[in-house]
Structure 1
Amino acid sequence: MKIAFVGKGGSGKTTLAALLARHLAAAPDQPPLLAVDADINQHLAAALGAVQDAALPALGDHLAEIKEYLRGDNPRISSAAAMVKTTPPGRGSRLLTIAGTNPVYDATVREVDGVRLAVTGPFAERDLGVACYHSKVGAVELLLNHLVDGPGEYAVVDMTAGADSFASGLFTRFDATFLVCEPTVRSVGVYKQYLGYAADHGVRVHVVGNKVADESDVEFLRTHVGPDLLTWFSRSDWVRAAERGQTLSLDALEPANHAALRRIRAAADAAEKDWPRYARQAAEFHRRNAAAWANDRTGEDLADQIDPDFVLGDQLVH
């Protein structure tokens, strides 16, 4: 399952993404797992327990190599330079799996406290005034477009905050989207904005309450998000320490919050895996990007990169 955590900045989505990743990594069945930090504020590694000055390789810095590898011998793609963030896979493309080994993972994935992690990379000084952060997040979109995840496998992605997630088609690349929502008017406002955009694309949103102090907070969330409220995390010493950059043993997490993690995993496991829709949406957003900017940039009609008979996921049964 491809899982996204979204929400208002400061809502705790990074903390909960890290918490779910650690929960899965510690599960008795040890499911294959890959965590990805796609937020402009790169804090997932720290939330997982990496030391603050640890240098992790950035996906954005390896974009050329990623394109060259994924391209494979797909005849529809003239060159790696002609690949853009929305380029979908086709016959001849190299595909990725959650746990498999490949040059992309060798270059960009590192283990942090038992969790395999890839990071987009920070917005650097050289990017100020000349680059868009979504050009870096394009590496994540390419990765997910070529990722074949089987039953019981998880990719957990910490997305950019707020409605900025909709600046690319990346928001459609997930089987389960968890919107972290505080019991506040501003946080609920982001939920309503996200829901409005997502509904047009069949994106199912589960709301996960965070920083819930008492039953009145739960009632506030129920009033404003209704049946979309899946579960919630109470205010706790564990979560507060995590948001301050401290890494505690998962055993110290409160039982109610452990139960919330189990509900999140169960909701992800119950999500419908619709590979044909995934392919249709990938093609749709690729056509949009091609017409809007990519054709002019590459000098090609990139709609020709779409392989109409290729469905990612068929490889699991053939």
Structure 2
Amino acid sequence: MKKILKEYQFYDSFNELAIDILALAKEILPEGFLFLSAFTDKEQHILKVAENKEEIHINEGAIIPLQSAICTRINFTEGKALVYEDISKEESLGDIKNTYQSTNVNAYLGVPVILRNGEVFGTICAVQESATTFNSNSIKLIEKLAKMFSYYLELESMAYRDHLTGCYNRYFLERFFNQYTKKEGTIFFMDLDGFKKINDQLGHEAGDFVLKEVSLRIENVIQQSTLNGAVFRLGGDEFIVNLSNINKETVEDIANALIRNLSSWDFHIKDFRLSVSIGIVTYSREKQSLDDLLKKADNALYRAKASGKNTYRYF
């Protein structure tokens, strides 16, 4: 799902650890030009570059389209390093070869950074100006560094995620708004209608299943809209969606899509009339506290419930 933010930017000590990881990698491959990258659906982002003396034109903060990135040839399924010892001889690289040689790169080592759930974060890469042979022991050590870094990323992510649904949690919501309340956006405060009956009559296992399914449906609605957004679970059957810079017509399209997707059930809970009520509040660049915004959204949610449920209301 696309998000307004890059989650890792909120991790404690991310920058410090990224620098340390590259410093350790530099000890293993002192002649290499080392950098750490992260992927989005379409791009490779160069996050950190180690101090280097090589004349290689890869800069921290650079963004490379994935179709032009050599890293896309890494076998992420098996998690194996990719090695090109002499790019000038690699005819299979096509236009990618010309791109990398134009940055003064002729040897490449790419080690994937993958979480245990299979999610790909990015790579630790070592490149050099001249063709070179990468020592197998050095590659194994870089792979161990990548695994250590993935453990750190996973632990940080767990601190920000709801363990049941995988949505962001209230703790992350607070951090998010501490940094982004100056941007324009819209909050959707959602509460499920009829959820208590499912828990009471079918048990908490069925309730947990419903909450997981609800979170997936919310994510799908936002993803299909191609908007930048983030989904949070406050607790129980309360969810928050935050979207940035959208007009009223789009807000209403999203609200209707959420209601439609969360009120249609074709399996064992269909007789419980599960639906959703939504309170909507927009905020501008004027500084507002998270508590104020949630109170406003909760007020709108209360009016949606009072008007018959399975609908939305603005603050």
- Please classify the TM superposition score into its range, dividing by the shorter chain length: under 0.3
- Relative to the length of structure 1, the TM-score reads 0.25
- Relative to the length of structure 2, the TM-score reads 0.25
Higher strand share: 2
> Highest Rg: 1 or 2?
2
